[in-house]
Amino acid sequence: MTRPRAVDGPRLPAPRAESGPVLELRAAAARRGGRTLWSGVELTVREGEFTAVLGPNGAGKSTLVKMLLGAAPVAAGEVRVLGARPGQANHRIGYLPQRRSFDASMRIRGIDVVRLGLDGDRWGVPLPFGGPRHRDARQRVAEAVELVGASAYAHRPIGQCSGGEQQRLLIAQALVRRPQLLLLDEPLDSLDLSHQGGVAALIGRICHQEGVAVVMVAHDVNPILHHLDQVLYLAEGGSAGGTPEEVITSATLTRLYGTRVEVLRASDGRLVVVGRPETTGGGHGALR
């Protein structure tokens, strides 16, 4: 799905015309430690599409992200990333790994953290000061910071920024190379509800207005539900993909888990899953 680009505001990611999908998985499977984590995954992600990867702990969501980066093997089937084998187009991918946090005493400024996304692989070899590459780098960093709305605190030490502010700066870091694909591993983890909503809206905007394809591992689908184009649900060695309305249903999750699962919609629109095998504490909770 391709959506119109924003007319106003910074335009950091510059999606190029792609002949094919950004991501393609055909009958793909992942194995870890001699165990099949998931199999039969069919997924197509196009420019400007927002895809969530859902499933219980240990289902293999992070493994999927690592597979797309070429850091975990493809056990079966075919995986194409930006028209190439996994790992061959990583310079066109922005990646936010799981569980990042900064110590409160960390003195490095937010803006320097963003810049690491540009030249973090060239530690100790600074861009020539004042040269055209230096100016281009400075402009890209400033654009990324503005795009995520972090200008007000980007010059503060990162350790003194709130969790939500740090998350925005890390998303800016993942965006600074103007990627065509953004891989985000639980970027809303450890944020409070209001920050979750703000960061989810930011990611939705980057995706739909800037045309960047986003694949996001999520613990709880609710904060991103209204921004999503499709979901991939991994569980019990299998998988189910499609629009949220197709996948997050009692029938689909019951089939996937092989036991009775019920999806309820709360009055505020949140989805609640009842009866998942691994659920504790009364057998219900927000959808994961």
Ligand X SMILES: Nc1ncnc2c1ncn2[C@@H]1O[C@H](COP(=O)(O)OP(=O)(O)OP(=O)(O)O)[C@@H](O)[C@H]1O
Residues at the interface with ligand X (CB under 6 A): 32-33, 37, 55, 57-63
User: Who's near 131: CB < 8 A, 6+ residues apart?
Assistant: none
Please, what is the Cα angle at 206 between 50 and 73, to 5 degrees?
50
By beta-carbon proximity to ligand X, the closer residue of 61 and 208 is: 61
Minimal distance, residue 57 CB to ligand X, in Å: 3
- Dihedral angle at the C-alpha atoms of 254, 257, 61, 23, nearest 10 degrees? -60
Q: Which helix (H) or strand (E) holds 43?
A: strand 35-45
Minimal distance, residue 142 CB to ligand X, in Å: 33
By beta-carbon proximity to ligand X, the closer residue of 67 and 181 is: 67
Minimal distance, residue 20 CB to ligand X, in Å: 27
Which residue, among 118, 131, 182, 142, has the nearest Cα to 12 in the 3D structure? 142
Minimal distance, residue 185 CB to ligand X, in Å: 7
By beta-carbon proximity to ligand X, the closer residue of 65 and 212 is: 65
* 181, 23 contact by CB (below 8 A): yes
Cα 286 off chain centre by:
19
Minimal distance, residue 99 CB to ligand X, in Å: 9
Please tell me the distance from the alpha carbon of residue 45 to that of residue 60, in angstroms, as a whole number. Answer: 19
By beta-carbon proximity to ligand X, the closer residue of 59 and 147 is: 59
Name the phi and psi angles at 122, rounded to 5: -130, 45
By beta-carbon proximity to ligand X, the closer residue of 55 and 187 is: 55
* 266, 273 contact by CB (below 8 A): no
